[in-house]
Amino acid sequence: MTTWQDFFATQDLTHIRKWIAYTRSLGVAVYPSDQDVFRAFDLTPLDQVRVVILGQDPYFNGEADGLAFSSGRAKVDGKPDGKPRIPVSLQRIVAEVRDDGFEVASTWRGSLEAWARQGVLLLNTALTVQHGTPGVYMQNWSRFTKECIAYLATRRHPHFILWGSAALATFRDAVKLHLDSNLILGQQCHLEQAGVRYDTDLPTFSYSAHPAARNATPNPLKGSRPFNKANEVLRWRRRGDVDWSLR
Q: Which residues are catalytic?
A: 57
Instruction: List, edge to edge, every strand of the sheet that includes 51-55.
Output: 120-124, 51-55, 159-163, 204-208
- Using N-to-C axis directions, what is the helix angle for 138-155 and 165-178, rounded to 10°? 50
Burial class (CB in 10 A: 0-12, 13-18, 19+), 35: exposed
What is the rounded CA–CA span in Å between residue 224 and residue 220? 8
Q: Which amino acid is at 52?
A: V
C-alpha distance from residue 78 to each of 58, 75, 85 (Å): 23, 9, 9
